[in-house]
A and B are shown apart, each in its own frame.
Chain A
């Protein structure tokens, strides 16, 4: 409770200082808009539906791109974590590519897929899929040997050993890979949308810059932050907390 009160006071003070600075008129409003302007732009943007369209467009892309990343990354990670040969060949490529910021794929994607939806989705997938793959492979590799021995002494082999023990044992690692993958996907999407006409949230940002509309920029940035936080707090964190508790990874003896 004390923490929340502290935060409330802090943000209220921040808003006041901001408003004060804006009112002082040191900078023109296209450089430093007041919070009131930003809020009115937010209300306006939602009221005329333009933000909603942008959000819907971006969400559609990220869900598709992220879905593809999961569909590729998790099976690939399961294979890499279990097969020595694959890990030492394909695995090194995955590790190497992870050093490449995903937006660097955009020029390539534009040549391959032209100015299309596919190009954006491709960048999102390249942003998310590698970390999902690597975390999954890590989780599989780190299956506690004790679980494997226990399962084997009870007669589990092959698919049952894999599906019944290796996979669930890797689930906490897979989940943290999914969380990381989501935030990479989100960043990649915004970067890709910024760079050309795309109707998504990124384009609304670009338009704000072209119209010298700083209030618009800040309003959309707030929207982007909020969506990121919602995904984290409403989905990934509770899910991770539940799995960690169940898997006995925290607190419980």
Chain B
């Protein structure tokens, strides 16, 4: 297994008291697999990504990559956010080169790699532009190039297309599928859109409401490249959505019962 979460629990503590985010979370991802995490908002999907990225530590349980426990951020994993999180003081080229510089890659090699990945996301003409001059879709492409330039084994994507318009998102769905097929990266992708999950993933993990664990797993083997309006895909998404509704309904009822009983 490339990635494994073994009975991982994590509770956040704030001024308002403890908020359990994950309880006994278990799943694993095979090398080269494309897995989507899907579930109600606040169910701990993003927390799972942060754990794998090494930006959070679990209270209990283990996060393993290639069988070794995760102790912090590492060369083999990169996280991509919903906001592109580009550095506004750097131009596109220097943004893409940032991680390479942090890893001590020489300048000439940095330039070559940067150019290669900017071409891959069709933004080589914008290498001297600054983030505020780009559209949302272009920014997200730069963020993708920035992550890919580090050549990680695992791409962790936290609702990266959530803030984009429908057309841009569809285009990026296609590009990401091509990219995945060409590079064979392992991708874990968080989304709250059932159809997006099915367009991209080989498997879709449906989360329970918080504290999150896996409620059920759906496999999607429709032919690629898939499109968000494909017939079979819409049908499968109905199945996932009805299970999600069921989960939310049960959780709400439980919450109500808890409130009634003293």
Within 8 Å of chain A (Cβ to Cβ): is B133?
Answer: yes
**B77 — nearest CB in chain A belongs to which residue?**
A153
B102 contacts A154, CB within 8 Å? Answer: yes
Q: How many A-B residue pairs have CB under 8 A?
A: 70
Within 8 Å of chain B (Cβ to Cβ): is A160?
Answer: yes
Measured in the bound complex, the distance between the Cα atoms of B135 and A147 in whole Å is 19
Task: Choose one: A154, A171, A248; the contact of B131 (CB below 8 Å).
Answer: A248
Knowing A246-B89, A246-B130, A252-B132, say if A149 contacts B55 (CB, 8 Å).
Answer: yes
B102 contacts A156, CB within 8 Å? Answer: yes
Knowing A168-B87, A248-B88, say if A155 contacts B132 (CB, 8 Å).
Answer: no
CB distance from A9 to the nearest CB of B (A): 39
A155 contacts B73, CB within 8 Å? Answer: yes
B81 contacts A150, CB within 8 Å? Answer: yes
* Size category, A interface: 20 to 34
CB distance from A151 to the nearest CB of B (A): 7
Measured in the bound complex, the distance between the Cα atoms of B74 and A248 in whole Å is 30
Q: 1/0 contact trace for B43-83 toward A, CB 8 Å?
A: 00000000001110000000000000000011101110101
Within 8 Å of chain B (Cβ to Cβ): is A107?
Answer: no
Within 8 Å of chain B (Cβ to Cβ): is A209?
Answer: no
B99 contacts A156, CB within 8 Å? Answer: yes
CB distance from B247 to the nearest CB of A (A): 29
Within 8 Å of chain A (Cβ to Cβ): is B118?
Answer: no
A155 contacts B99, CB within 8 Å? Answer: yes
B132 contacts A147, CB within 8 Å? Answer: no
Knowing A152-B73, A156-B98, say if A146 contacts B88 (CB, 8 Å).
Answer: no
A151 contacts B102, CB within 8 Å? Answer: yes
Measured in the bound complex, the distance between the Cα atoms of B87 and A168 in whole Å is 9
In this complex, how many residues of chain B approach chain A with their Cβ under 8 Å: the count is 29
Chain B residues positioned under 8 Å from A153 (CB to CB) = 53-55, 73, 77-79
Q: Please classify the interface of chain A as helix (H, G, I), strand (E, B), loop, or mixed, using the class held by over half of its residues.
A: helix
A147 contacts B102, CB within 8 Å? Answer: no
CB distance from B245 to the nearest CB of A (A): 32
Within 8 Å of chain A (Cβ to Cβ): is B23?
Answer: no
Task: Choose one: B81, B102, B133; the contact of A155 (CB below 8 Å).
Answer: B102
**B149 — nearest CB in chain A belongs to which residue?**
A154
B150 contacts A247, CB within 8 Å? Answer: no
Task: Choose one: B55, B88, B136, B146; the contact of A152 (CB below 8 Å).
Answer: B55
B79 contacts A246, CB within 8 Å? Answer: no
Task: Choose one: B54, B75, B85; the contact of A150 (CB below 8 Å).
Answer: B85
Within 8 Å of chain A (Cβ to Cβ): is B103?
Answer: yes
**A245 — nearest CB in chain B belongs to which residue?**
B132
User: Which of A150, A247, A248 has most B Cβ within 10 Å?
Assistant: A150
Chain B residues positioned under 8 Å from A154 (CB to CB) = 73, 78, 98-99, 102, 146-147, 150
Closest 9 CB pairs of A and B: A154-B99, A248-B132, A252-B132, A150-B85, A156-B102, A153-B79, A168-B89, A248-B88, A247-B88
Where the two chains meet, the residues of A that have a C-beta atom closer than 8 Å to any C-beta of B are 146-147, 149-157, 160, 164-165, 168-169, 171, 245-248, 252-253
- Beyond contacts A156-B98, A169-B89: 7 other A-B pairs, Cβ-Cβ < 8 A, are A146-B83, A149-B81, A150-B87, A168-B89, A169-B87, A247-B89, A247-B132
User: What are 29 of the A-B contact pairs (CB < 8 Å)?
Assistant: A146-B81, A146-B83, A147-B85, A150-B87, A152-B73, A153-B54, A153-B73, A153-B77, A153-B79, A154-B98, A154-B147, A154-B150, A155-B73, A155-B75, A156-B99, A156-B102, A165-B87, A168-B87, A169-B89, A171-B89, A245-B132, A246-B132, A247-B89, A247-B132, A248-B88, A248-B132, A252-B132, A253-B132, A253-B136
